[in-house]
A and B are shown apart, each in its own frame.
Chain A
Amino acid sequence: MKLILVGGDKATYYLAQTFAAKGHRVVLVNKDRDYCEELSEKLKALVVCGDGSQPSVLEDAGSRSADALLALTPDDPANLLICQLAREVFSVPRTFSIINNPTNEKIFKELGVEQVFNKTTLLSELVEQKVTSENIDTILSLAGGRVNVTQVVLTDDSPATNQKLEELALPPDSVIGTVIRDEGIIVPRGDTKLQADDELLVFTLNTNQGEVLEALVGSKL
């Protein structure tokens, strides 16, 4: 599957990495030249530096042959226009968008953006779920909240610290996708030993998220 990710900050990198790891072709479009350079150094992905709300930039990103596009900019009007361009001009079959102002959810849906991820609502739901732990941070919630990407920072006291991945009793439908250690990136294997201060990116279903977090850091949502 060929995916185009337009705009966005740190989460874009992790998303791209996740999709690439699953074997998808990822194209990134970003206005920030420095970030583009960083992305193209770190990722095996085509990076197009430019304003994704310009038709010519989406064309350069190969939109005509894309299977899906995800708009991640902090500007809702830009996200809307990017998705509409993708659908109506480049015939991208599926478009997704982040929305920053929750009242725009209705507008986006009414105007035909297939799937929206409402950042504010997602965050407020998390607060309502009493996520008070400072070392757990849900980065993304996908597929209508059924899949979560959570960032977890291990401490000296975490149950997973000094354990090998294969020794952890994690539920079957969960993956530790990436370990960030001293700015370096580790794609972990069974014999990878976790350390305190490791930042883990964990992919879970919403049904097993609590169990996974408990096994890693001893607290759950």
Chain B
Amino acid sequence: MYTIIVGCGRTGGELASRLSRAGHEVVIIDRSEASFANLSPEFTGFKLHGNAAELSLLEEAKIDRADVFVATSDDDNVNYMTSRIASCIFNVPRILVRINEPEKEILYEKTELETFSPTTLLAGQLANTITDNLE
């Protein structure tokens, strides 16, 4: 499986390391070279330094042959733009997007893209744990 990950923060770095360890082909993109320190030593994929919202960089990442595209950066606007490019221009089969500000989720309602909001997930999990313990 060929996966492109945008954003090498804690989440992106951990995800890239796990997929790489499991034997998948991974390209990770970040605009800060220092962020690649978030990758584990077992990461054997490809690191691309630059702005993922630039078409030329996504082309360099060979987005046209990606099976999965994951936008994990801390900039919702970049996540939106890159995931729309992956979907509308390159028809990447599976696209997952991190949403930092839950109110932006509304933009994805009419799309096929799978969204993950850490805030909503964590709050939901906490609420469930609390109410389960009450019962």
With A53-B76, A80-B77 as known contacts, state yes or no: A107 contacts B85, CB within 8 Å.
yes
Determine the main DSSP class of A at the interface with B.
Answer: helix
Q: Which residues of B contact A81 (CB under 8 A)?
A: 76-77, 80-81, 104, 107
Once the chains are docked, how many angstroms separate the CA of A75 from the CA of B110?
A: 24
The interface residues of chain B lying within 8 Å CB-to-CB of A76 are 53, 81
User: Given A54-B101, A54-B103, A81-B107, A107–B77 Cβ distance below 8 Å?
Assistant: no
Given A85-B107, A111-B88, also A103-B80 (CB < 8 A) = no
Residue A63 at the B interface, CB < 8 A? Answer: no
**What are the interface flags for A64-77 relative to B under an 8 Å C-beta threshold, 1 for contact and 0 otherwise?**
00000000000111
A135 at the interface (CB under 8 A from B): no
**B interface, size bucket:** 20 to 34
Give the complex CA separation of A111 and B83 in angstroms.
Answer: 11
Q: Is the CB of B107 within 8 A of A107?
A: no
Q: For residue B101, which residue of chain A has the nearest CB? A: A54
Q: Quick check: B107 and A89 within 8 Å, CB to CB?
A: yes
- Chain A, interface size category, equals 20 to 34
Contact B110 A80, beta carbon cutoff 8 Å: no
> Within the assembled complex, what's the spacing in Å between the Cα atoms of A103 and B55?
7
B60 → chain A closest CB, angstroms: 13
Query: A174–B101 Cα gap in the complex (Å)?
Result: 46
**A56 interface hit (Cβ, 8 Å):** yes
Residue of B nearest to A53 (CB): B77
CA distance A135 to B106 in the complex (A): 47
